Amino acid sequence: MGRLFGTDGVRGVANADLTAELALGLSVAAAHVLAEAGTFEGHRPTAVVGRDPRASGEFLEAAVVAGLASAGVDVLRVGVLPTPAVAHLTGVLGADLGVMLSASHNAMPDNGIKFFARGGHKLADDLEDKIEAVYEEHRTGAPWERPTGAGVGRVRDFGEGFETYVSHLMSVLPNRLDGLKIVLDEAHGAASRVSPEAFSRAGAQVVTIGAEPDGLNINDGCGSTHLDLLKAAVVEHGADLGIAHDGDADRCLAVDASGNEVDGDQILAVLALAMREAGTLRGDTVVATVMSNLGFKLAMEGAGLNLVQTAVGDRYVLESMKENGYALGGEQSGHVIVLDHATTGDGTLTGLMLAARVAATGTSLADLAGVMERLPQILINVKDVDKSRVNTSGELAAAVTDAERELGSTGRVLLRPSGTEPLVRVMVEAADIEQARAVAQRLADVVKSALG
């Protein structure tokens, strides 16, 4: 069996890869592993369980809740809320475990399970490995120890989660958004209620699209992975800016008043300067991944700020932030972590803070984002290849060396296997877009032939 846990929990096609049996078994395994680690010692354990609106989340939620309760864990079922809301509630409610059912920006047929440890942080890799090992051991025959009588977990709905989370967002907003007109694209996802409520309470005039989830339309041609609808709506309504979330709202991308995309790197740059001005950017340092645009690195250097780069995945950004006490980090995809106010990427919080900067400075989003110049970047996803051999193929290594020699100091190449999908990502940056496109396509062809 391949590793179940990727860079962002367990994901797959719901009811094919990710079955009710798997969800139940992993939940029981998680309870046993955390009990063994001493997490539950001296008290009756509690878990917070939430989901995005996918139809499959209904039966997977039932399976997770059943698994946890059968292992003696009390469950607070918070319903449809963003991933960062479940993480926040896990922390503020003092729960021992949080579980989010979502496949984030993936298409509707997929779903996923993400576990949070006490405090609302993602589980460490070693705990995920242990959960997987224990699950596999019991799946192949070893019986579980099961509580009976009053020892079984109790389940109750926790409707207060919505208000608790929105109130938290309001409490950390640096200033109000009065006078701003903002279009929100909720991707028919988990923030369809939360985000419009938060922006409205903050004083913005809100136009909402993609906020009618029916269980089947999540991420369907809308949200942070499909910005065309938002771009058109911002221009049509004469809005100051637009904010797009993905299905579980841990991401935020933006659109300026002219309908131009403002990506995660630009958002990070704007927030970094705002936080330095406010004295909250500890160490004058921002954490980003190796996928960040070279223009972002140059902009941070130009502003006198330090940049720490990590492997791709918001969990690695977060690890670096926690280890070194940094306050801001994120990814080009729009995962932005403001560690003083959230334990994971929070798209609604990010959007609020970006809009707050526009309101506070009276400067357009386009001008704020202009602090960095994006170098042309071409990303090609090469599907149906053996991504495990990316770093062992001599043919591929030679092709990368040739490409780097051609680009020189004005560009760069990055090849990486996806942590959540069966593909290899080929990324090329260069001062000239046509050169970047040609080099990327050439490398993609080599990936296909060498790893196909």
User: For residue 86, what pLDDT band results from cuts at 50, 70 and 90?
Assistant: very high
Distance, CA of 392 to chain centre: 29
pLDDT band at 1 (very low <50, low <70, confident <90, very high): very low
Average pLDDT, integer, range 369-376: 93
Average pLDDT over residues 23-50: 95
In whole angstroms, how far apart are CA 344 and each of 163, 238, 333, 339? Answer: 19, 32, 14, 8
pLDDT of 118-174, one tens digit each? 999 988 889 999 999 999 999 887 788 899 999 999 999 999 999 999 999 999 999
What's the residue count for the chain? 452
Mean pLDDT, residues 342-367: 97
Q: Between 3.30.310.50, 3.30.420.40, 1.25.40.10, 3.30.1120.10, what CATH number should domain 377-451 receive?
A: 3.30.310.50
- Domain residue ranges in the chain: 5-160, 174-369, 377-451
Fold topology of 5-160: Alpha-D-Glucose-1,6-Bisphosphate; Chain A, domain 3 (3.40.120)
CB 86 within 8 A of CB 100: yes
Phi/psi at 47 (5° precision)? -125, 145
Enumerate the known binding-site residues.
104, 246, 248, 250
**Residue 131 has which token pair?**
């959960």
- The CA-CA-CA angle for residues 212, 81, 3, to 5°, reads 110
Mean pLDDT of the chain: 94
Stretch 355-367: mean pLDDT: 98
**Which residue positions form the known binding site for Mg(2+)?**
104, 246, 248, 250
What are the CA-CA distances from residue 299 to residues 269, 277, 372, 380 (Å)?
Answer: 8, 16, 5, 25
Q: Report residue 416 as tokens.
A: 């990486």
Out of 3.30.70.20, 3.90.550.10, 3.40.50.300, 3.40.120.10, the CATH code matching 174-369 is 3.40.120.10
Q: What percent of the chain has pLDDT over 70?
A: 99
Q: How many CB atoms lie within 10 A of CB 346?
A: 31
Top mean pLDDT of 236-250, 380-394, 412-426 is at 236-250
- At what angle are helices 294-302 and 264-278 packed, to 10 degrees? 20
pLDDT band of 421, cuts 50, 70, 90: confident
27, 56, 102, 104: the catalytic one is 104
Q: What is the mean pLDDT of residues 388-412?
A: 87
* pLDDT tens string 275-320: 999 999 999 999 999 889 988 998 999 999 999 999 888 888 999 9
CB-based contacts of 287, cutoff 8 Å, min separation 6 = 307, 308, 309, 310, 317, 320, 321, 326, 328, 329, 330
**104 flagged as catalytic:** yes
Residue 410 has pLDDT above 80, yes or no: no
Tell me the CA distances in angstroms from 318 to 22, 259, 286, one per residue in order. 28, 31, 11
Q: What is the pLDDT of residues 200-256, one digit of tens each?
A: 999 999 999 999 999 999 999 999 999 999 999 999 999 999 999 999 999 999 999
